[in-house]
Amino acid sequence: MTADAELWRELGQQLRVDSIRCSAVPKSGHPTSSMSAADLMAVLIAKYLRYDFDEPKNPANDHLIFSKGHASPLLYSVFKACGAITDDELLTFRKFGSRLEGHPTPEIPWVDVATGSLGQGLPIGVGVALAGKKLEQLPYHVWVLCGDSELAEGSMWEAFEHAAFYGLDNLIAILDINRLGQRGQTMHGWDLASYVRRIEAYGWNAIEIDGHDVDAIDRAYEEALTPNGRPTAVVARTLKGKGVNAVENKDGWHGKALDNPEEAIKELGGERKLVIDVAKPEQAKPRTFDSGALELPTYALGSEVATRKAYGDALLAIGEARGDVVALDGEVSNSTYADEFAKQLPERYFEMYIAEQQLLAAAVGLQVRGWKPFGSTFAAFLSRAYDFIRMAAISRANLRLCGSHAGVSIGEDGPSQMALEDLAAFRAVHGSTVLYPSDANQTAKLVDAMADLDGISFIRTTRAATPVIYGPEEEFPVGGAKVVRDGDDVTIVGAGITLHEALKAAATLADDGVSARVIDLYSVKPVDVETLRESAEGTHGRIVTVEDHWPEGGIGETVLSAFADADERPRVTILAVRELPGSGKPAELLAAAGIDAEHIARAARQLVEAEAVAR
Amino acid sequence: MTADAELWRELGQQLRVDSIRCSAVPKSGHPTSSMSAADLMAVLIAKYLRYDFDEPKNPANDHLIFSKGHASPLLYSVFKACGAITDDELLTFRKFGSRLEGHPTPEIPWVDVATGSLGQGLPIGVGVALAGKKLEQLPYHVWVLCGDSELAEGSMWEAFEHAAFYGLDNLIAILDINRLGQRGQTMHGWDLASYVRRIEAYGWNAIEIDGHDVDAIDRAYEEALTPNGRPTAVVARTLKGKGVNAVENKDGWHGKALDNPEEAIKELGGERKLVIDVAKPEQAKPRTFDSGALELPTYALGSEVATRKAYGDALLAIGEARGDVVALDGEVSNSTYADEFAKQLPERYFEMYIAEQQLLAAAVGLQVRGWKPFGSTFAAFLSRAYDFIRMAAISRANLRLCGSHAGVSIGEDGPSQMALEDLAAFRAVHGSTVLYPSDANQTAKLVDAMADLDGISFIRTTRAATPVIYGPEEEFPVGGAKVVRDGDDVTIVGAGITLHEALKAAATLADDGVSARVIDLYSVKPVDVETLRESAEGTHGRIVTVEDHWPEGGIGETVLSAFADADERPRVTILAVRELPGSGKPAELLAAAGIDAEHIARAARQLVEAEAVAR
């Protein structure tokens, strides 16, 4: 045995022992899923990883992503072995207040993204690798430890597909094929050839090894680092719970601390105190792109422009002004208008094809590297990536998302293409911002604001051309609302397409002697509580809300929430889409849903009359 | 040329002509995407499909699913060619009120499911094929027409994976490889070998053909029908817009009516009036499973039982009582307790592994065949399949879903495993039912009720064991709420884990002389407006809501919505999870989120005091 191999084996045992030790304290966690991959990580950190633990933001650092986030005991044991955390801290695993949570999050400086929802680490790794290869032209590598259970997730195969398509030979997937899932054997067990066959069919280099043979691991990593235009998968046969007879390759030990940790540690040869001086990367500077002065597009008052078009125009302008802005789209860029960016700034545009999960994951990976991604598709299809959006919030990711073709107002395409739940879904994302412009100048301002927002921001755009009602000089702070028409009998709150219906309704109502105030709730979250409360007070506590969205979790409930604990709570009529729409002309569908000008005017009139009766 | 081939070609031309004609009326739709697959459909309906258009519910019928739902002009032209609809109706395509919507929905009796969000038809086809092969043991075939753009969706590869694993040789995927997506060439263009390689790697039989050579199509279908334990993909090279020079194989013609339909129709040889007498299937009866008397599990008052355990117990009981109930789980059945069903009723249980999109799609496919599927996984991971849930509602599907491990109360595993947006997401699904029991007996009753609910019903279960507070004789109608403790100073509304905190808080408050009424909002949607309004009236218009969920779209906003247009609107304090949680003990995390008994009691006290001041 070489000295290297001896060290690697000892290190692997240490990682196992520490995985057991840290899980033993809270009596929970996933030690057996950690033990299977310990040798794979030992060889990696001892010889291949290039990482400066003192400077996690060093742009030349490799990236190590645990797609199988539940193997956090192993990851934290790796951090200890690399001298990044103390043994004392390791033993705070899963304790309230500890940054060593049950699954990794970027609360830890050496963790790029939160994992734990399986099938996300590899597609995110694709984004990080894309940044290195296509944008920064840096030689770092992205190492992603994957489980075998998560290979059932389609998102993993989106990642295999995209990584090969983009020639990401800086990406190495380490597949820990330990055969056992949570409740029994995986679909393919130890049939490694079945994985190799698939992965090679996608155009990757696949290397099948015994994941406990450190020399084989060494050779595989060596080969993986040979650039050949193709990503590499190291497909490793491993034993779950390796090294401890009570649990090794035994069912029923997923996600459980060991019954007898002390005996297990003894069986593994006891505690070690190896500290690895992980090789630092050579200094290198990422390629950057020029920045310039921002010239936002402007639109003439009274002209008709779709907010989706304004999104595309503004995205291009912002991209030209800021070298750190990148864009992605899910093969609908000629509908979302992201194609303007794609055509003018092709080096910073990534076509994700119809793979919304990979789209989101790539955006998360790009922002790991400090880029400012804007991702777009039909708002309805962002629902395909909802778990990725949820997890991105836990990753503290800064993402800008645009969903076009919202609501019944898209017309003939029918309900499969209509986002009617997106406001609810995005509002229920931690720390999110939800914007819904009604006008092209407003859209441009909001898209510009998004570039500097933290967290997940979402902008909902409309298919149809709508009148430009704001001058290009107006400002639209996030968290604000605009009173677009004054009145004192009733407040009508709309946004996007329905704002225009609300304005039409207000005109009709004026003819009937009803004075309606109209509020443009372009910032759905955060919402402008003050303007809403003032307006309610100024209109006898009467509000009609109208939205091209289901009634649940959208504009109506947002408005209600602004008054939940207020001293004066208005009477609110919520107009929303309540029946499943079909196809038809936009005007027909708005009318059928009861959210057009006529229905708004009727609701406002009823409210004024009902309140009159009530008093 | 044989007479058959001559007919098939003519029929293909007719389908093209009719696709152009029907799109010409609304001047929208996807004729070019229809024209590429016309020959593939012509041979299918003329020779292979077994379908009784007069009896769409005939259990022996084949199934034809357009995974590329945008090729609806082709599908409707097929229906016309089969004599199912008239030419007049065909020309109502995309008209308001017509059942021939922009994308197919089951408003049409020969359409099983709504498609139009790409990548869903094939995984749903897997569910339909599973029913035929594993449950009903009927010889019908499931034909799924797929586009090439949608092959970028990971969900398609979940379908390839599961279909092979389950040996579904009754499933035939027809891949219309027309090279062009919406905004340009697909990832693989006409590299058919790349698709064949992948599909074969998954264990399918793949047949590469020229999709306009009717004899080749004929041979491919013949081969596909030869049972060999493997599903078959017919990988067909086609031309988008085939037959019309102005659009054939030309970019920029996706989703557009032709500029000059009359000339195009002339180029295709004019209108035909072929009517195909589609062969009817031989009569056959599906295998059924015995039904028996229902014996729901019961739990002793005061014992501690997790609602997830009660879900598993009840699911098994219902499965034993009703032969039409089937269950699916995403490789976490030992956590959701669906494993009780899996062990006792293995013939009716389908392990979907960690592939939540396929889980949902299979459930949709199973209910197409009249089965009553219950699908379960962690509630957080149902977000992975949100687009499938959204589309299932458009499919008018009857699905029962269980999401376990809701909220911060799961403890140490951390936020990646905590559903905190599921109530918002499921409320915003059209026609959905959202249930959230706090007690084991209640859970059993609600699971039983779900079996007979239409639409998408969702039940949220809790990881921790909680006290049994209801006797087994109590009833819990969907849409109801329980007043579990009476009081007249303030109402506290909780559900699930927080109901128990609310009860503790009420006890503390009683010691302080504050009389709190506690409402168990087990039915979040539909919500019991009457009970809420009565309670508000009986407690001076003071309500505290408390939920293990983000504040947006959950219990607090549900309660607000119950009062939106009421004459008396209570003051509502919404307690919800507002900061990103970490790991910790359940009690620590409930306290940190401000949703434990202590915080509830404090909020209730403040409300009583504030209201006293306000008056």
Shortest CA distance from A163: residue in chain B: B187
Q: Residue A612: what pLDDT?
A: 60
| Amino acid in position B475 | E
For the annotated catalytic residues of A, the residue numbers are: 356
Q: What does the pLDDT look like over A248-285, one tens digit per residue?
A: 999 999 999 999 999 999 999 999 999 999 999 999 99
Q: What is the dihedral of CA A24, A26, A32, A37, to 10 degrees?
A: -100
Q: What's the number of CA atoms in the CB half-sphere (13 Å) around residue A244?
A: 29
Query: How far apart (Å, rounded) are the C-alpha atoms in residues B123 and B395?
Result: 14
Share of chain B above pLDDT 90, in %: 98
In sequence order, the β-bridge partners of residue A329 are A351, A376
> Rounded to a whole number, what is the distance in Å from the CA of A289 to chain B's nearest CA?
26
Cβ contact, residue pair A566, B571, below 8 Å: yes
Q: Residue A2: what pLDDT?
A: 85
Q: DSSP letters along A278-321, please?
A: PPPPPP-----------------TT-EEEHHHHHHHHHHHHHHH
Res B305 pLDDT > 90: yes
Residue A490: closest CA among A578, A602, A615, A592: A602
Res B615 pLDDT > 80: no
B557 contacts in chain A (CB < 8 Å): 553, 557, 560-561
Query: Which sign, positive or negative, has the C-alpha torsion A174, A178, A183, A186?
Result: positive
Cβ distance A600 to A501 under 8 Å?
Answer: yes
Contacts of A343 (CB under 8 A, 6+ apart): none
Angle at CA A572, nearest 5°, toward B458 and A307?
80
Q: What does the pLDDT look like over A83-104, one tens digit per residue?
A: 999 999 999 999 999 999 999 9
Query: How far apart (Å, rounded) are the C-alpha atoms in residues B545 and B530?
Result: 16
Which whole-number Å values give the CA distances from B363 to B26, B111, B129, B221, in the listed order? 35, 17, 11, 27
Q: Which helix (H) or strand (E) holds A195?
A: helix A192-201
Cβ contact, residue pair B582, A97, below 8 Å: yes
Query: How far apart (Å, rounded) are the C-alpha atoms in residues A422 and A419?
Result: 6
Q: What does the pLDDT look like over A194-237, one tens digit per residue?
A: 999 999 999 999 999 999 999 999 999 999 999 899 999 999 99
Contacts of A570 (CB under 8 A, 6+ apart): A491, A536, A541, A542, A543, A563, B569
Q: Residue A610: what pLDDT?
A: 82
Residue A353: closest CA among A131, A166, A124: A166
Cβ contact, residue pair B584, A96, below 8 Å: yes
What is the number of other CB atoms lying within 10 angstroms of the CB of residue A537? 14
- State the best of B555, B583, B613 to mutate against chain A, taking most chain A CBs within 10 Å: B583
Query: How far apart (Å, rounded) are the C-alpha atoms in residues A424 and A403?
Result: 13
Cβ distance A357 to B154 under 8 Å?
Answer: yes
Which whole-number Å values give the CA distances from B263 to A206, B16, B214, B271, in the listed order? 53, 13, 25, 12
Query: How far apart (Å, rounded) are the C-alpha atoms in residues B76 and B102?
Result: 10
Q: Residue A449: what pLDDT?
A: 98
Cβ contact, residue pair B412, A102, below 8 Å: yes
Q: Residue B614: what pLDDT?
A: 55
- Under the banding of pLDDT at 50, 70 and 90, the label for residue B611 is low
Helices A121-130 and A356-368, packing angle to 10 deg: 60
- Under the banding of pLDDT at 50, 70 and 90, the label for residue B609 is very high
Q: What is the mean pLDDT of residues B264-270?
A: 98
> Rounded to a whole number, what is the distance in Å from the CA of B418 to chain A's nearest CA?
10
A98 contacts in chain B (CB < 8 Å): 582-583
Q: What does the pLDDT look like over A352-368, one tens digit per residue?
A: 999 999 999 999 999 99
Cβ contact, residue pair B413, A386, below 8 Å: no
Res A613 pLDDT > 70: no
- Mapped onto helix, strand or coil, the DSSP state of residue A65 is strand
Nearest to B557 among A150, A561, A572 (CB): A561
Residue B226, Cβ density class (10 Å: 0-12 exposed, 13-18 middle, ≥19 buried): exposed
Helices A597-614 and A497-511, packing angle to 10 deg: 60
Q: What is the mean pLDDT of residues B243-261?
A: 97
Res A1 pLDDT > 80: no
Share of chain B above pLDDT 70, in %: 99
Q: What is the mean pLDDT of residues A547-564?
A: 98
Cβ contact, residue pair B428, A380, below 8 Å: no
- Under the banding of pLDDT at 50, 70 and 90, the label for residue B613 is low
> Rounded to a whole number, what is the distance in Å from the CA of A19 to chain B's nearest CA?
15
Q: What does the pLDDT look like over B385-411, one tens digit per residue?
A: 999 999 999 999 999 999 999 999 999
Query: How far apart (Å, rounded) are the C-alpha atoms in residues B159 and B141?
Result: 16
Res A484 pLDDT > 80: yes
Query: How far apart (Å, rounded) are the C-alpha atoms in residues B95 and A588?
Result: 10
- Residue A494: what are its φ and ψ, rounded to 5°? -135, 175
Cβ contact, residue pair B149, A353, below 8 Å: yes
What is the number of other CB atoms lying within 10 angstroms of the CB of residue B530? 12
Res A614 pLDDT > 60: no
Query: Which sign, positive or negative, has the C-alpha torsion B118, B123, B127, B130?
Result: positive
User: Which residue is listed with tokens 């899963």?
Assistant: A94
Q: What does the pLDDT look like over A393-421, one tens digit per residue?
A: 999 999 999 999 999 999 999 999 999 99
Query: How far apart (Å, rounded) are the C-alpha atoms in residues B258 and B24?
Result: 7
B390 contacts in chain A (CB < 8 Å): 380, 383, 421
Cβ contact, residue pair A335, B570, below 8 Å: no
A150 contacts in chain B (CB < 8 Å): 354
Residue B19, Cβ density class (10 Å: 0-12 exposed, 13-18 middle, ≥19 buried): buried
Q: Which helix (H) or strand (E) holds A374?
A: strand A372-378
Shortest CA distance from B158: residue in chain A: A154
What is the number of other CB atoms lying within 10 angstroms of the CB of residue B259? 12
Q: What does the pLDDT look like over B476-495, one tens digit per residue?
A: 999 999 999 999 999 999 99
In sequence order, the β-bridge partners of residue B237 are B177, B210
Query: How far apart (Å, rounded) are the C-alpha atoms in residues B294 and B221?
Result: 45
- State the best of B340, B413, B460, B493 to mutate against chain A, taking most chain A CBs within 10 Å: B413
Cβ distance B14 to B77 under 8 Å?
Answer: yes
Query: How far apart (Å, rounded) are the C-alpha atoms in residues B547 and B559?
Result: 11
Which whole-number Å values give the CA distances from A238 to A120, A211, A248, B104, in the listed order? 22, 5, 10, 47
Query: How far apart (Å, rounded) are the C-alpha atoms in residues B246 and B227?
Result: 42
pTM for the model: 0.98
Q: DSSP letters along B118-160, please?
A: TT-HHHHHHHHHHIIIIII-----EEEEEESGGGGSHHHHHHH
Query: How far apart (Å, rounded) are the C-alpha atoms in residues B538 and B522?
Result: 20
Residue B240: closest CA among B232, B249, B251: B249
Angle at CA A519, nearest 5°, toward A434 and B564?
80
Residue B547: closest CA among B472, B600, B488: B600
User: Which residue is listed with tokens 């509304």?
Assistant: B493
Res B50 pLDDT > 70: yes
Cβ distance B415 to B581 under 8 Å?
Answer: yes
Q: What is the mean pLDDT of residues A544-553?
A: 98
Q: Residue B2: what pLDDT?
A: 85
Nearest to B565 among A197, A428, A571 (CB): A571
Query: How far apart (Å, rounded) are the C-alpha atoms in residues B495 and B531?
Result: 15
Query: How far apart (Å, rounded) are the C-alpha atoms in residues B171 and B123?
Result: 11
Mean pLDDT computed over every residue of chain B: 97
ipTM field? 0.98
Catalytic residue among B356, B501, B547, B557: B356
Query: How far apart (Å, rounded) are the C-alpha atoms in residues A454 and A431?
Result: 8
Contacts of B348 (CB under 8 A, 6+ apart): B135, B289, B319, B325, B326, B327, B341
Contacts of B362 (CB under 8 A, 6+ apart): B123, B124, B126, B127, B130, B162, B328, B350, B352, B373
Res A181 pLDDT > 90: yes
Contacts of B584 (CB under 8 A, 6+ apart): A94, A95, A96, A97, B411, B412, B592
Query: How far apart (Å, rounded) are the C-alpha atoms in residues A449 and A460?
Result: 14
Q: Residue A129: what pLDDT?
A: 98
In sequence order, the β-bridge partners of residue A325 are A372
Share of chain A above pLDDT 90, in %: 98
> Rounded to a whole number, what is the distance in Å from the CA of B158 to chain A's nearest CA?
5
